[in-house]
């Protein structure tokens, strides 16, 4: 419609009509009505609906209809693409150029990514990552539910609703066998997953949460429960061994509790021996219980040069077992006692 039409409407109706995109205009007295329906993306569909102006020519005046119609029809108003007349038809303007609805849809409409059909100007159109969909085509590829107002994700070019995604890709809690929803707190250990509230101690049945825990044959215990049930106790002080310790006579000991019976020195990490059931360091055992070498008068402990030779209730360190006359070693050789002395065969024959 050109300005000639506007002038005619103003002349007969007493009102000025102008075209503005996105606005629906109605004139008082039903002289003329420009209907504009809005499609998605702000495209406008117009329909020119001419009515007799009751307030100027009387209701249904043929004269008024004839003059107005002849004036309007005096210039063409056609679709830019197919050249069909747009009088009495809906049309859509693109940069002030009118198109009939079929031509507009064909030229400017988008194709639905799902059904590959054209999306009409009057349809609700949804788009995601440069893909366009009919509202009814925007659905979960697994369960078919509508995603128009739901959260969703895209997996291998397929739309998936949140429920299907969680069921298919999220881990399940080994305790309750329910899906661990994205964003919720979870605990993982040994390839298994728990809801935070499902990871509980097998002893007190309280949630362990971020506290330290101890696994035992497929069960999990908080530290107090495990210590109370399973932790070994020191043979001396009877308290729980939390970590470390030594074993003596198949019993656990705290390192600080495993002491020499004589001098009370810690024996962990150093050689020791026993007298009866009591442990002793080498020094205390040598001083208290070890035999003395006849030759050097030092204790024979069994440590270091531990081999010794015993004869007639006398003992010698192996290196000390020599001829009293020539000092030749008698280890593995014959010898002859001579009072408190011992002689080799040569010295004995002199």
The mean pLDDT value for 198-217 works out to: 89
Residue 83 lies in a domain: yes
CB 85 within 8 A of CB 78: yes
- Say yes or no to pLDDT of 305 above 80: no
Does residue 51 belong to any structural domain of this protein? yes
CB 177 within 8 A of CB 193: no
pLDDT in tens, 104-114: 988 988 999 88
Confidence of residue 304 (pLDDT cuts 50, 70, 90): low
Query: How much is the pLDDT for 5?
Result: 30
Does the pLDDT of residue 190 top 90, yes or no? no
Mean pLDDT estimate for the chain: 74
Q: Are 98 and 91 in contact (CB under 8 A)?
A: yes
Domain assignment present for residue 89? The answer is: yes
Answer positive or negative: Cα dihedral of 100, 106, 108, 113.
Answer: positive
312 and 277 share a domain?
A: no
Q: What's the CA gap between 171 and 162, in Å, rounded?
A: 14
The confidence band for 35, taking pLDDT boundaries of 50, 70 and 90, is very low
Given this model, what pLDDT does residue 257 score?
Answer: 93
Residue 220 within any structural domain of the chain = no
Residue 150 DSSP one-character state: S
Backbone conformation region of residue 302, classed left if phi is above 0, alpha if psi is from -120 to 50, else beta? left
**Collapsing DSSP states into helix, strand and coil, what is residue 281?**
strand
* CB neighbour class for 327 (10 Å; exposed up to 12, middle 13-18, buried from 19): exposed
Residue range of the domain that includes 26: 3-110
Helix (H) or strand (E) holding 345: helix 345-348
User: End of a domain among 59, 81, 110?
Assistant: 110
Among the listed residues 164, 158, 116, 165, the one whose alpha carbon sits nearest the alpha carbon of residue 141: 158
Task: Identify the band that residue 296 occupies on the pLDDT scale cut at 50, 70 and 90.
Answer: confident
**Are 8 and 32 within 8 A, CB to CB?**
no
Q: Give me the CATH number covering residue 333.
A: 2.10.110.10
Tell me the CB-side half-sphere exposure of residue 9, using CA atoms within 13 A.
Answer: 26
pTM of structure: 0.35
What was the pLDDT predicted at 262?
92
For the stretch 278-288, pLDDT in tens is: 899 988 888 88
pLDDT at 259: 93
Both 254 and 327 in one domain: the answer is: no
Q: What is the pLDDT of residue 306?
A: 61
Residues 237 and 281 in one domain: yes
- 16 located within any domain: yes
| Whether residue 30 has pLDDT greater than 80 | no
Pairing of strands 291-292, 278-281: unpaired
Question: Over the stretch 73-101, which tens digit does the pLDDT of each residue have?
Answer: 557 889 999 999 988 888 888 888 999 99
331 and 321 in contact (C-beta within 8 Å)? yes
Same domain, 331 and 236: no
| Residue 336 pLDDT exceeds 90 | no
- 161 touches 147 (CB < 8 A): yes
Total count of domains within the chain:
3
- The verdict on 104 and 27 lying in the same domain is yes
Tell me the three state secondary structure of residue 139.
strand
Instruction: Report the alpha-carbon distance of residue 237 to residue 113 in Å, rounded.
Output: 77
pLDDT in tens, 225-259: 888 888 888 998 988 887 778 988 889 999 999 99
pLDDT at position 49: 39
pLDDT, residue 325, reads: 87
pLDDT above 50 (res 64):
no
Q: Quick one: pLDDT at residue 130? A: 82
Give residue 233's pLDDT. Answer: 87
What's the pLDDT score for residue 100? Answer: 92
**Pair 299, 263 in one domain:** no
Greater confidence (343 vs 74) lies with 343
Establish how many alpha carbons lie within 13 A of residue 13's alpha carbon, considering only the half-sphere containing its beta carbon: 23
Residue 31: is its pLDDT beyond 50? no
Answer yes or no: do 318 and 285 share one domain: no
Question: What is the pLDDT, as a whole number, of residue 250?
Answer: 87
The answer to whether residue 265 sits within a structural domain is: yes
Residue at which a domain ends, from 273, 289, 305: 289
Distance, CA of 34 to CA of 22 (rounded, Å): 12
Instruction: Give the pLDDT of residue 67.
Output: 33
Look at residue 163 and tell me if it is in a domain: no
Are 242 and 309 within one domain? no
Question: Is the pLDDT assigned to residue 202 strictly greater than 80?
Answer: yes
Question: Last residue of a domain, which of 242, 258, 289?
Answer: 289
Has residue 38 got a pLDDT over 60?
A: no
Query: Taking residues 56-75, what's their average pLDDT?
Result: 37
> Is residue 192 assigned to a domain?
no
How many residues can be counted in the chain? Answer: 350
pLDDT band at 48 (very low <50, low <70, confident <90, very high): very low
34-48, 125-139, 231-245: the lowest-pLDDT one: 34-48
* CA–CA separation, 215 and 213 (whole Å): 7
> Which among 195, 191, 160, 192 is positioned nearest to 178, based on CA atoms?
195
List the one residue out of 60, 63, 62 whose CA is nearest residue 30: 60
Pair 282, 303 in one domain? no
Instruction: Tell me, yes or no, whether 284 and 298 share the same domain.
Output: no
Q: Is the pLDDT of residue 185 over 80?
A: yes
Number of Cβ within 10 Å of residue 99's Cβ equals 23
Provide the β-strand partners of residue 134: 125
Does 21 share its domain with 104?
A: yes
Same domain, 275 and 327: no
């Amino acid at each position: 419609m050109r300005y000639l039409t506007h002038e005619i409407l103003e002349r007969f109706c007493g009102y000025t009509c102008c075209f503005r995109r996105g606005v629906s205009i109605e004139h008082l007295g039903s002289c003329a009505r420009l209907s504009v329906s809005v499609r998605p993306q702000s495209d406008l569909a117009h329909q020119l609906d001419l009515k007799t102006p009751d307030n100027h020519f009387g209701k249904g005046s043929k004269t008024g209809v004839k003059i107005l119609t002849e004036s309007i029809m005096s210039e063409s108003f056609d679709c830019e693409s197919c050249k069909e007349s747009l009088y009495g038809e809906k049309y859509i303007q693109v940069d002030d150029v009118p198109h009939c609805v079929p031509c507009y849809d064909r030229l400017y409409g988008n194709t639905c990514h799902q059904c590959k059909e054209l999306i009409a100007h009057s349809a609700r159109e949804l788009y995601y990552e440069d893909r366009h969909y009919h509202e009814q085509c925007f659905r979960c590829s697994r369960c078919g539910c509508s995603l128009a107002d739901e959260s969703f994700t895209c997996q291998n070019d397929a739309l998936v609703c949140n429920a299907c995604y969680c069921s298919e890709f999220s881990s399940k809690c080994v305790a309750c066998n329910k899906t661990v929803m994205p964003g919720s707190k979870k605990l993982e250990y040994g390839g298994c997953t728990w809801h935070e509230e499902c990871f509980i101690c097998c002893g007190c049945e309280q949630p362990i949460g971020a506290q330290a825990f101890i696994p035992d044959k497929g069960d999990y215990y908080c530290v107090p429960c495990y210590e109370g049930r399973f932790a070994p106790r020191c043979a001396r002080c009877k308290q729980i061994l939390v970590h470390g310790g030594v074993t003596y006579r198949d019993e656990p000991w705290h390192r600080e509790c495993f002491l020499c019976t004589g001098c009370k020195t810690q024996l962990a990490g150093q050689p020791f021996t026993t007298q009866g059931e009591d442990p002793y360091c080498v020094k205390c055992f040598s001083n208290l219980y070890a035999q003395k070498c006849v030759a050097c008068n030092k204790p024979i402990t069994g440590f270091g040069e531990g081999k010794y030779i015993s004869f007639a209730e006398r003992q010698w360190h192996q290196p000390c077992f020599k001829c009293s006359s020539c000092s030749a070693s008698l280890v593995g050789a014959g010898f002859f006692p001579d009072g408190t002395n011992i002689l080799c065969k040569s010295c004995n024959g002199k």
